[in-house]
Structure 1
Amino acid sequence: MKMTKLILDGLMLAGCAVAAAKPSEGGAFVAGPARTSPNIVVIFTDDHGYADLSCMGLETDVKTPNLDRFAGEGVRFTDGYVTAPQCGPSRAGLLTGRYQQRFGYNHNGMGPLPLEQKTLADRLGAAGYKTGQVGKWHLEPIANDAAFINKNAPGEGSLRDRYNTIDEEIFKPYYPFSRGFQETFFGYEHDYWVTYDLPGNRFSEPKKIQTEGDRIDRQSDAAVRFIDYHHDKPFFLYLAYYAPHVPLESSKKYLDRFPGDMSERRRMALAMISAIDDGVGRIMERLERYGIDENTLIFFISDNGAPLKLNMRDITLEYRGGAWDGSKNTPLRGEKGMLSEGGIRVPFLVRWKGTIPGGQVMDTPVITLDVAATACAVAGLQKPAEFDGENLLPMLAEGKKLPERTLYWRFWEQIAVRKGDWKLLRTKGHSPFLFNLSSDKEETKDLSGAFPEVVTDLQHRADVWTKELVSNAPLTGDWPLQGIFWYQHYFNVPLPDGVDESMNPFSSIGR
């Protein structure tokens, strides 16, 4: 079935009068004068491990019926990736469509997102879309962004103390309402910068409010409210749930769904994921109610793998800091912060009823860079030259193969490259690992000795790519202790001289 026909059918079923739609150069779709552009929704969860959708068939305790339906009506990717195993840089790659290392956002502490970088909201807003952001942003200045803090609060004292002295007006240019989002409900737990509230009030300027109750439910409420306001015009909604990231908290409604003997952190994560699932169900219901379900492209992705902290200790929930969040990466090796599969391979679903045939499970490697490229194409925009991703719609709607490409990652003292089934993984002070992911997604069999020519090819590709980046230093310098112990634990890499088990930072979590 031709893609143009699929899109026309989807638009007509949504009740839109369509004059014409044809592919343009670069793969975008040019609408006729009466055409309504498709809506675009991106749902991004937080520290949500690869295993934790029931449609994955990996963990029996997780329950996500709405997301299972979502996957059944769309595509589930088994090899979906993010650009970084950490919140900030992962979001920077998603929303710019570029490898974030190209503009120096290598890891948390190297932000905020530079003001000269266009966001997907900037691009879609200029194309006539109403743009909305709900939930976590994490591209504003944060308390370990040393360069920003030293510029705006020089002097003595800790970074955090000086960060807390900076006037809020200095932060506002970096908030989502200044980065292309016309409507915001931007916040994490209970404090939000909003252009509307849940009772239905609208504000001409962003206003700070407080909310009560389950934070996930409030973020779902805000997403549904945005659709209520803008269902009659093309919209882009970026819903970034602050879950199941710590601090772990949920309401009785969701906790009661998971009785029985299990760790309390696991129970809490399952409850929070269930709340997300309810929210996705509410969004799909609202789209159906307004008759725009078949005119809406939706992505559902996590920002990185779950933080296991080596051994998934079930420490007290009263500890609100960085600990295991109860989510799992089964069967992948590694976790948040690592460039092994457990850190960067995530739940990745796409749905567009009437255009993308449902029930597909694809093992083609895709990455969050593709979200911006696909969104711009369906909005009728030419693909910007600086984008690093690909438009997925020809593959999703017509079954065409993606162009052959190489995917890259660089984080702390790690670098990884995937081309086809082969993946190269390097970490400071150790020779490269080579894995064939088609038969070993768990990364248990190092094939570097058997295929030196593949190692050489992938290493060369990594070197060429690295030279394109703002910071292209080799893998030298300070290697965080957690990184050393990750690779000792998961890959049996010996501890370097001067490092012993007494220095393991994971042993003191929650104490």
Structure 2
Amino acid sequence: MRHQIRIGCLLLIAVSLLTGTVQAEPARPNIVLMMADDLGWGDVHCFNPKSPIKTPQLDAMAAAGLQFNRFYSSSPVCSPTRGSCLTGRHPFRYGIYFANKGHLKSEELTLAELLQKHGYATGHFGKWHLGTLTTEMKDANRGKPDNTKEFSPPWKNGFEVCFSTESKVPTWDPMLKPLKDNHNGWDFIEDKSTAVAYGTHYWNEKGEVVRDNLDGDDSRVIMDRAVPFIEKATKDGKPFFTVIWFHAPHLPVVAGPEYAAMYSRYDTYKRNYYGCVTAMDEQVGRLRETLQQAGVAENTMLWFGSDNGALAPGRAPGSVGHFRGGKRSLYEGGVRVSGILEWPARVKAGTQTEFPAVTSDYLPTILDELKVEYTGQRPLDGISLLPVLAGTQTERAQSIGFESQGQLAWTTQQYKLYSKNAGKTWELYNLLSDPSEENNLASAHPEQVAEMSKQLAAWRDSCVRSDQGGDY
């Protein structure tokens, strides 16, 4: 009898497998977060057809996926936005108020830490800017002997493999600068014997300075480390979480001869800015090809964005398009960036959305897809975008809060409340009809200002409680 039951069970299992009634656990997606540095919304051709910059790979990525026409960085400057990408929380909750201010606290939960617990290989490549990378030598902006207070490298925040800098480097020959350097950038250095050290180093996960393969295009130098990481994880059968944060086109901009030649009719500043963006774009294409060849492109969440908008018009060659303001401003030009998601398994090619999304949405979206609960009893500022990807949600219910150097903003699906002086005076814009923020409606709609400012005040109070350690 037992023998007959055993045979019967085996037959049932076999039939179930043949008929598909036993459901295999869905494959977990690979995740890549790419981010440019100071790239303007108007720099990428698919967002701004008038852009003089050649970005064929980003254009192809958008055509193959989803283009976010209202994608926001959580801050108008570098460091705070990077924190939001990894924590799902506004940086004022953990003391990263501005670039080179604060560091990623050990109590914060990062995507790398959360995904590592679920079997993901984790790697960070490029700019970090969330703390120093050494306590033993002078490095970059804040690294120096015995400075332990701000020491918070990626390998202390969940990343197993690292090729990282604390802050900016030149976008060509990243370790070098001319004896008399221009802050904005320069033509590539032909005679390297005339160059001196720039002063920022690349570090690996062991806390060692990396000294090999650092010549030429910095975006390629970064991708030379990211590609083997992805290939190894794929070979090992592990899903991967890869953060690739390019330095381009943050100053100083330097384009190699091939890329500068594409823009020879422009002045030095423009040809180096434009050229380094095209060089970065080339590496985006290289990454997409790597994913295809590895057979994992179908189920890889491939994100692209920028940490903030371009410098304000007239200060740099970057473009904010028709938007107002630029880097360091909470007007749209400072925080509206080029957001793209390519994910063939879940996203229909050639789609666009006007849904307002923000860098804080990465974490909730990824955890939602993995059916992983957020383990921290603390507020998140982002939301899951899966309903947006599925086409079941077209309007954002949860507002997006911003704060930076006395500026405040509260953005809803339709309206944006803005203050340049910590709430002493207010401006109100209808972003659906006036995305360029030309018509201040505050005096015409005082009730809207009152309600939105009340919501903003409550959110700021929550951020203060978090920053004072209330979440830990």
From 448, 462, 466, the equivalent of 2:460 is 466
The one-character-per-residue Cα deviations of 1:92-136 (angstroms, maximum 9, x if unpaired) are 111111111112222134311111111110111111100000000
User: What pairs up with 1:50-129 in 2 under 5 angstroms?
Assistant: 50-129=41-120
Name the counterpart of 2:263.
258
- Taking the aligned partners of 2:224 and 2:304, their CA distance within structure 1 comes to 17
From 252, 269, 275, give the equivalent of 1:271. Answer: 275
2:208 partner SS? strand
Which AA in structure 1 matches 2:413? G
SS in 2 for 1:287: helix
The structure with more radius of gyration:
2
| Distance verdict in 2 for CA 1:450–1:367, change over 3 Å | same
Q: 1:60 to 1:234 in 2, by over 3 A?
A: same
The equivalent position to 1:393 in structure 2, one of 369, 381, 386, is 386
Deviation at 1:164, TM superposition (A): 5.9
Please, what is the CA RMSD of the aligned residues?
Answer: 2.8
Match of 1:193 in 2: 203
In 1: Cα distance, 2:419 partner to 2:141 partner: 36
Are residues 19 and 99 of structure 1, via their aligned partners in 2, closer, same or farther at CA, if it must alter by over 3 Å? farther
Q: Structure 1 residue 405: deviation in Å?
A: 1.4
Q: 1:172 to 1:209 in 2, by over 3 A?
A: farther
Q: Classify the secondary structure of the residue corresponding to 1:127.
A: coil
Distance 1:437 1:167 in 2: 48
CA distance in 1, matches of 2:289, 2:226: 12
Q: Is the 8 A contact 1:73 1:358 kept in 2?
A: yes
SS at match of 1:450: coil
2:433 to 439, 462, 466: 439
Q: Structure 1 residues 234, 452: closer, same or farther in 2, change over 3 A?
A: same
Q: Which moved more, 1:42-51 or 1:209-218?
A: 209-218
Alignment of 1:476-491 (within 5 A): none
Q: In 2, distance between residues paired with 1:236 and 1:165? A: 30
How far apart, CA to CA, are the structure 2 residues paired with 1:112 and 1:89? Answer: 9
Q: Contact 1:373/1:389 (CA < 8 Å) preserved in 2?
A: yes
Q: In structure 2, how many angstroms separate the alpha carbons of the residues matched to 1:106 and 1:428? A: 16
The one-letter code sitting in structure 1 at the alignment partner of 2:231 is: D
Q: 2:154 and 2:442 mapped to 1: Cα distance?
A: 44
Are 1:332 and 2:323 counterparts?
A: yes
For the 8 Å contact 1:111–1:139, the answer to whether it is kept is yes
Aligned CA distance change for structure 1 residues 431 and 18 (closer, same or farther; 3 Å): farther
**SS of the counterpart of 1:94?**
helix
Does the CA-based 8 Å contact 1:124-1:379 persist in structure 2?
Answer: no
Structure 2-normalised TM-score? 0.81
1:177 aligns with 2:181: no
- Quote the residue 2:303 is aligned against: 299
Q: Does 1:208 align with 2:202?
A: no
**Whole-Å separation in 2 of the counterparts to 1:399 and 1:224:** 35
Pair 1:160–1:236, CA change in 2 (3 A): closer
Structure 2, unaligned runs of 5 or more: 1-19, 176-200, 468-472
* Aligned partner (choices 354, 376, 386) of residue 363 of structure 1: 354
Equivalent residues of 2:133, 2:152 under 8 A apart: no
Matched with 2:367 is: 376
- The one-letter amino acid of 1:233's match is K
Amino acid at match of 2:52: D
| Structure 1 residue ranges without an equivalent (≥5) | 1-16, 22-31, 144-148, 153-158, 196-204, 313-323, 474-511
2:203 aligned counterpart, secondary structure: strand
d(CA) in 2 for partners of 1:103 and 1:163?
A: 19
Contact 2:395 2:413 in 1 (8 A): no
* Pair 1:208–1:142, CA change in 2 (3 A): closer
* 1:174 aligned counterpart, secondary structure: coil
Once structures 1 and 2 are overlaid, which stretch shifts more, 421-430 or 345-354?
Answer: 421-430
Matches of 2:139 and 2:284, distance apart in 1:
36
SS state at 1:118 partner? coil
After superposition, the Cα gap between the structure-2 partners of 1:247 and 1:132, relative to the gap in structure 1 and judged at 3 Å, is: same
Distance in 1 (CA, whole Å) between partners of 2:245 and 2:130 is 12
